[in-house]
Amino acid sequence: MKYPEPTVGAIIFNPDNKILLCKSHKWNNEYVIPGGHIELGEKMEDALKREILEETGLEIYDIELISLKESIFSDTFHEEKHFIFIDYRCKTNSYEVTLNDEAQEYEWVDLNDIENYKLGGFTEPLLMKIRNKDESKDRAEIFYNY
As a whole number of angstroms, the distance between CA 35 and CA 53 comes to 10
Q: What is the pTM of this model?
A: 0.85
Residue 100 has pLDDT above 50, yes or no: yes
Place 11 in a pLDDT band, splitting at 50, 70 and 90.
very high
Please report, to the nearest 10 degrees, the dihedral formed by the alpha carbons of residues 74, 46, 53, 108 taken in order.
60
Cα–Cα separations (whole angstroms), residue 108 to 37, 104, 128: 23, 14, 16
| Residue 82: per-residue pLDDT | 78
Write the class of the CATH domain 5-144. alpha beta
